[in-house]
Amino acid sequence: MKVYQTKELKNIALVGGAKAGKTTLAEAMLFEGGVIKRRGSVDEKNTVSDYRDIELDRQASVSSTVMYAEFGGQKINIIDTPGFDDFIGEVVAALKVVDTAVMVINSQNGVEVGTEITWRQITRLDKPVVFLINQLEHEKANFEESVRQLKAQFGDKAIVAQYPVNAGHGFDSVVDVLKMKLYKFPVDGGKPEVLDVPGEEKDKAEDYRNAIIEAAAESEEALMEAFFENGTLSDEELAKGISQGIATRTMFPVMCASAKNNQGVARFMECITENFPGPDMVTPENDTEGNPLIFDEKKDPVAFVYKTAVEPHLGELLFFRLYEGQISESADLINSTTDTKERLSQIFVVAGKNRQKVEKVLPGDLAATIKLKDTHTNNTLTGSKNQGVKVSPIVFPEPKHRTAVKAKNTGDEEKLGTVLREMNNIDPTLLFEQSKELKQMILQGQGEMHLNVAKWMLEQAHKVEVEYLSPRIPYRETITKSAKSTYRHKKQSGGAGQFGEVYMMIEPYEEGKPNQTEFPVRKQDVHDLSWGGRLVFNSCIVGGSIDARFMPAILKGVMEKMEEGPLTGSYARDIVVNIYDGKMHPVDSNEISFKLAGRNAFREAFKNAGPKIMEPIYDVEVMVPEEKMGDVMTDLQGRRALIMGMESEGNYQKIKAKVPLAEMNRYSTSLSSLTSGRATYGMRFAEYQQVPADIQDQLLKAYEEEQKEDE
């Protein structure tokens, strides 16, 4: 393959809802670009994209696929992305490194859930957009309604550049208002017959052309002057204006095709090469210091790893975009993220599972390499002169669904952790931790489907049988009033015994609250707890009733009980402990005696100090269609949610609420059911609040039963 200059590159991501036909479109593009000799199909399970076992099993994309096509003397890099919200992390990573998002619309359904969800990410990343209305051959295709919905949802920037003459069964003709020609396709696709626009379509085509000329003229002052002077734009001026309009997001051209029949795909690719902005036209990516990366091949290399995959018989494959400099085979680079040296022994361009070696990559291009020692997604590779430069990282969405995961075979527990680490390298939105507090391994993802796919991968690809369990809730325990206790630990079993007696008063910790005055504080230790909150440990001993050398042992006993609270075994927090008296034995007192005395004194005092259980509260934002808002609000209130407010966002309402984590189990599934999959949500930890009295009683009873079962 030739080495492509920056000006010869176009980078696009195919995005949109599930079943919009993105994979079929990619297949047709690769066929037209000469990468494949025969088009596969999703039904026959032989497409270049969707080649992984899990995708063949489900007949749907669960991971993005990187491909390319050579067309019109240019290289088009294509990333086919999943349509389900559960795999939005793949979409976000793809959008990070492309210059234009191609939003594929199913002409039967118009604007769908996937369209709306992806649009939010496109807007957040400020990416140029082109709409492609697909599946025009379907009997229920409705181009006009799809355009109406696009304009209603995304505004008048959605401007028709092509429209079908006879959408539906027998579709074969498109009017292209950029060329003012009618393209008539053979039944099975291929090279079209290019004809003049029929007389009955002239007025409609002229109206669309005038609208796109006006929008193109608005992209640059010189073009606006030419438009006012001549009343129109030349074909060359129009092409320039469309490129700039797409790049600056002042227009979102609407094109059309039947990817299944390969009708209109070649013309679409021609539009990509002629009208889509190249890497040097769009808003440049910045490094973490805010400096733009400007695609200069004379600079030292700066490459960003946006995706990691594992391929059979090959190992780890790392996909990168080069922003500055040039990279040749066997290049020595520095990972600015980890400060390690890496050698790129081989460089590939990739089309699904097919790879072709290249000698050199220039700025703006996408490529891949293998077997780096310590490089993963979101890492930056640089030359020595740019050491320390880091491309701003991909911001992946917060997890929304959690479960506990356990190996069915206890001998596989260590392997489970290793495999999950590998899966996290590939999919950074799949998070896991071995929770010491909950005594469970917690797996988090974007939804139930996401975690079900993870289970399939664990069992089918890695041969680790697992089960999913309800995750425990990380409650906290604290107190509401002061209480005293005395505990004597005494043990005599021949020879040296054990003896320690502790007098303790505990009270709630509050920021800025002065010390109690009943006992003089001789020494104070303040401990910020790793699980949140504080423990203040005061020594109030007068007259040496307890030797100072035993105070750390008492503190250790208290801390042990705070790590396994007296009520439910949850962490305790925000407590002041005052040790004000005690007794020692000249022979039998030792550290273990005072540790046990301190632990038990704390437990007894805690139960008499108005103990309460605190639960984690999350800030939840739900994006919901207005007509479904009532159902969603009712459901949230049934989950003990406190509604904080609502605001409009396009045709959607954003509901803001504070919801206990205990009530969010399987919420993604419930929300999808309530709204036919049209709503989405995000959640982030906010604070701990006291649980209601009836729920505290339930938790206490459940813990008592659990303790009895363990005895």
Q: What is the 3-state secondary structure (H, E, C) of 681-693?
A: EEEEEEEEEECCH
Q: Among candidates 302, 284, 304, 303, which has minimal Cα distance to 294?
A: 284
Average pLDDT over residues 454-476: 95
Taking 3-state DSSP, the helix, strand and coil percentages for the chain, each rounded to the nearest 5, stand at 30, 30, 35
Q: Express as a percent the part of the chain with pLDDT over 90.
A: 81
Alpha helices in 546-666 (DSSP H): 551-563, 591-607, 629-638
Return all residues near 351 (Cβ < 8 A) that are at least 6 apart.
Answer: 30, 35, 36, 48, 66, 67, 68
Highest mean pLDDT among 84-88, 107-111, 488-492, 532-536: 532-536
Average per-residue pLDDT for the chain = 93
Q: Which whole-number Å values give the CA distances from 190 to 149, 172, 213, 362, 518, in the listed order?
A: 30, 11, 29, 33, 92
Q: Which whole-number Å values give the CA distances from 439 to 12, 330, 433, 564, 664, in the listed order?
A: 45, 46, 10, 11, 20
Return all residues near 268 (Cβ < 8 A) that are at least 6 apart.
Answer: 29, 132, 255, 257
Q: Are 173 and 164 in contact (CB under 8 A)?
A: yes
**What's the pLDDT at 607?**
94
Of the chain, the end-to-end C-alpha distance in Å amounts to 70
**What's the pLDDT at 710?**
61
Interatomic CA distance for residues 360 and 335, integer angstroms: 19
587/433: higher pLDDT: 433
Longest alpha-carbon distance in the chain:
113
β-strand partners of 230: none
Local confidence band at 96 (pLDDT 50, 70, 90 cut-offs)? very high
Q: Are 475 and 572 in contact (CB under 8 A)?
A: no
Return all residues near 692 (Cβ < 8 A) that are at least 6 apart.
Answer: 640
Interatomic CA distance for residues 709 and 705, integer angstroms: 6
Strands, E assignment, 299-419: 302-311, 315-324, 327-328, 331-335, 340-344, 348-351, 354-357, 360-361, 366-370, 380-382, 401-407
Average pLDDT over residues 452-475: 95
Return all residues near 476 (Cβ < 8 A) that are at least 6 apart.
Answer: 531, 532, 533, 565, 570, 571, 572, 573, 613, 614, 615, 688
**What's the pLDDT at 312?**
78
**Whether pLDDT at 711 is above 60:** no
**Whether pLDDT at 707 is above 90:** no
Q: In the chain, what are the domains? A: 6-205+252-275 (3.40.50.300), 302-386 (2.40.30.10), 401-472 (3.30.70.870), 477-610 (3.30.230.10), 614-694 (3.30.70.240)
Q: Per residue in 81-95, pLDDT tens? A: 999 889 999 999 999
**What's the pLDDT at 492?**
79
Given phi > 0 = left and psi -120 to 50 = alpha, else beta, which region is 677? left
